[in-house]
Amino acid sequence: MIKKMEFRDLVLIVGVTVMWGSNYTVIDISLDGIDPFLLTALRFTFCAFPLVFFIPKPKGVSTFVTIVYGLLFGIGMCWLMNYGMFLGVSAGVTSLLLQFSAFFTVIWGVLLFGEKMTAIQVAGILMALVGLMFIAHVTQGDAESFGLFLVLLGALFWSLCNVLVKRSKVVDYFPLSFGRVCMQHRLYI
């Protein structure tokens, strides 16, 4: 039996989509006047403070894992994404390319955890690769091509965050990634 989607759920889906999409436009505008590294630092700083004083340390997760996660997400994903956009990758293309983290995560699952890929996952990855080749084909220049590479590398780092979470058997995800959660809820400076 197919259950109808409630109106409230539809409004939430559309709201999250609008917030997700507009996030990259705000980043793009911010990069006109702020260095990519500084923008990343400011976003994380204003997301973390004062929350760092109220959110407990993640249970059962070592300080080392917390630091590695922060570096992978903060520098590995966010800074690379910001720098790629600074080099000319549009907000829309950036939002699409970061979704490659899902495909990288599936591949990590197969390589590191012995998971099996379904035919739908293989087809999705192949379709995404065709789309990526199209995007790479229509880029304007070397700086933008390097920017595409950096954003894709950022997506790879995001997938490594997912691997780290799975490997470390995180029970309560929020304390580990509250900076990421803040950014995904678009708390801007």
Specify if 174 maps to a domain: yes
What is the rounded end-to-end Cα distance, in angstroms, of the chain?
Answer: 46
pLDDT band at 115 (very low <50, low <70, confident <90, very high): very high
What mean pLDDT is predicted for residues 110-138? 88
Please count the other Cβ atoms lying within 10 Å of the Cβ belonging to residue 145.
15
Is the confidence at residue 179, as pLDDT, over 90?
A: no
| Range 19-36 average pLDDT | 90
Establish whether the linkage from the previous residue to 50 is cis, with ω within 30° of 0. yes
Say if 68 falls within a structural domain.
Answer: yes
Sign of CA dihedral 170, 186, 18, 15: positive
Number of C-beta neighbours around residue 14 at 10 A: 10
What is the predicted pLDDT for the residue at 109? Answer: 94
- pLDDT at residue 185 in the model: 40
Residue 103 has a pLDDT of 87
Note whether 154 and 84 are within 8 A (CB): yes
**Amino acid present at 49:** F
Mean pLDDT of 132-154: 84
**Does some domain include residue 12?**
no
Could you tell me if residue 3 is inside a domain?
no
Tokens of 65: 């894992």
Residue listed under structure tokens 């035919």: 119
**Measured between alpha carbons, how far is 44 from 188 in angstroms, rounded to an integer?**
10
Mean pLDDT score across all residues of the chain: 84
Q: How far apart are CA 20 and CA 89, in angstroms?
A: 17
Provide the pLDDT confidence category of residue 187 given band limits of 50, 70 and 90. Answer: very low
Q: 99 phi and psi, to 5 degrees?
A: -70, -10
Average pLDDT for 9-27: 87
Q: How far is CA 139 from CA 26, 32, 72, 115, in A?
A: 22, 20, 27, 35
Whole-number pLDDT of residue 125: 87
Res. 10: pLDDT tops 70: yes
- pLDDT attached to residue 178: 59
Largest CA distance in the chain: 53
Summarize pLDDT for 44-65 with one digit per residue, the tens. Answer: 888 777 777 877 777 788 888 8
Burial zone of 41 (CB within 10 Å; 0-12 exposed, 13-18 middle, 19+ buried): middle
Residue 189: pLDDT over 50: no
State the total domains in the chain.
1
Say if 5 falls within a structural domain.
Answer: no
The pLDDT assigned to 128 comes to: 86
Residue 10 located in a structural domain: no
Give the closest residue to 25 by CA, choosing from 95, 97, 91: 91
- Note the pLDDT of residue 1: 67
Range of the domain at 178: 17-53+61-184
Q: Looking at the domain assignment, is residue 49 inside a domain?
A: yes
Residue 6 included in any domain? no
With 0-12 CB in 10 A as exposed, 13-18 as middle and 19+ as buried, what is 81?
buried
